[in-house]
Structure 1
């Protein structure tokens, strides 16, 4: 199972640069940022691109409901992102999510020679992603539910007569009591979003039960072993107390492949 590392796109630029360099040096397979409304994830990813040479670069994900394919293409080209390394993630909330994602992926595929990643929570989007995506990004879920999601993705791929796309799980990772507190806050924020509230109900778990809240670095390897066979890659989304470079370096080294 491959192992990636993911950070908040709104971090200080020097933290993103240092984290990307360290992730590549430690041989993580990929480096991801998100795309919050307040920050351009493509610009943040460009910081990482300029510090690295080989590691794959993912953005997870750009909502097509607020940024369409024309703007995404413009942003990718303006940021001079290395297309061969780029994992371009898109998604959409309801209503109209399935059609919007299907159309958006088709448009982007015709314009950019990149791998397209679709964010999926429920069975319908998982099946759609199986039909059209190069990879599927799963979020805030347990290994058990990841296996169920994989079945939905494979069903979509089979219906489309294609090989199943790669499965990537965004797994939150925090280290120590202060990191756990920050993780709990982030989980509560997501649980207040209707789509994620339904997602947690579907799994029958609370947000923290999908994450790795490690008391020490020794807790991380056994937690990751639970994901073996469930997905092709785990992207460890770092959650720290104060977002310092030192905290991210500690998490990277504690979770290195």
Structure 2
């Protein structure tokens, strides 16, 4: 089973360049970086690539309604990101109309332009099927281990070789609990996620690890459910020391 680390793109290239070697040395398989208007995942991963040698580097995810696939390909090429270590996670973004076609077209463009693995961030069944059929796998987010297992099984039925990764928000420092609750509350207000939590019959916090005990107890179920578990770090602050402490506390086999 693969355990990886996820962080925010807003941390910036300088911090990620310093954090990445610790992530690699700790035994995490992949460094996943999200992409927001205030945080360029590709720029951050390019910085991380320069300070590591084997760590897989992944975007989780780039919304293609905001950053078209052609622009993503151009930045990958310009940054010199190592394709053999790169996973391009893409998503439909906030524009709901035409989401499936938009992601499908983006996969085609990236396949033609970039020699890297491509995965699709997917919430609904049609997007999950598209990701399994057309890309190298899917990325799940804010789901219980039971839901992750069912969705992974469905994806593997569509394409046996599809990779299924699942983001799990994780806080191990008690001082980070309030930030985790704030993020869970924010996602619970998004209509698509609210509907998904309702279908699962759980709160957003029920899909997260709120402390070290919850991580130790809950991680094995997620490891059985998916091919890769991404511990999406929630720390008390966004400085290097806080993330280094998180890495030390959650390192695989620690």
Mapped pair 1:138 → 2:140: yes
Cα distance, 1:13 vs. partner?
A: 3.9
Count of residue pairs brought into register by the alignment? 250
Long gaps (5+) in structure 2 = none
Long gaps (5+) in structure 1 = 158-162
Cα distance, 1:219 vs. partner?
A: 4.7
Task: Normalising by structure 1, report the TM-score.
Answer: 0.92
Name the SS of the counterpart of 1:212 in structure 2: coil
Mapped pair 1:256 → 2:251: yes
> Corresponding residue for 2:107?
105
Cα distance, 1:222 vs. partner?
A: 2.3
> Corresponding residue for 2:185?
188
Alpha carbons 2:181, 2:205 under 8 Å: kept: yes
Cα distance, 1:218 vs. partner?
A: 5.2
Alpha carbons 2:209, 2:218 under 8 Å: kept: yes
**Runs of 4+ in structure 1 displaced over 6 angstroms?**
none
> Corresponding residue for 1:66?
66
Alpha carbons 1:154, 1:164 under 8 Å: kept: yes
Segment of structure 1 superposing worse, 134-143 or 13-22: 13-22
Alpha carbons 1:68, 1:104 under 8 Å: kept: yes
| Counterpart mapping for 1:157-168 below 5 A | 157=159, 163-168=160-165
CA distance in 2, matches of 1:109, 1:184: 38
CA distance in 2, matches of 1:196, 1:164: 27
Task: Normalising by structure 2, report the TM-score.
Answer: 0.93
CA distance in 2, matches of 1:240, 1:199: 25
CA distance in 2, matches of 1:15, 1:59: 16
> Corresponding residue for 1:160?
none
CA distance in 2, matches of 1:115, 1:40: 19
CA distance in 1, matches of 2:24, 2:16: 12
Name the SS of the counterpart of 2:16 in structure 1: helix
CA distance in 1, matches of 2:83, 2:12: 24
> Corresponding residue for 1:126?
128
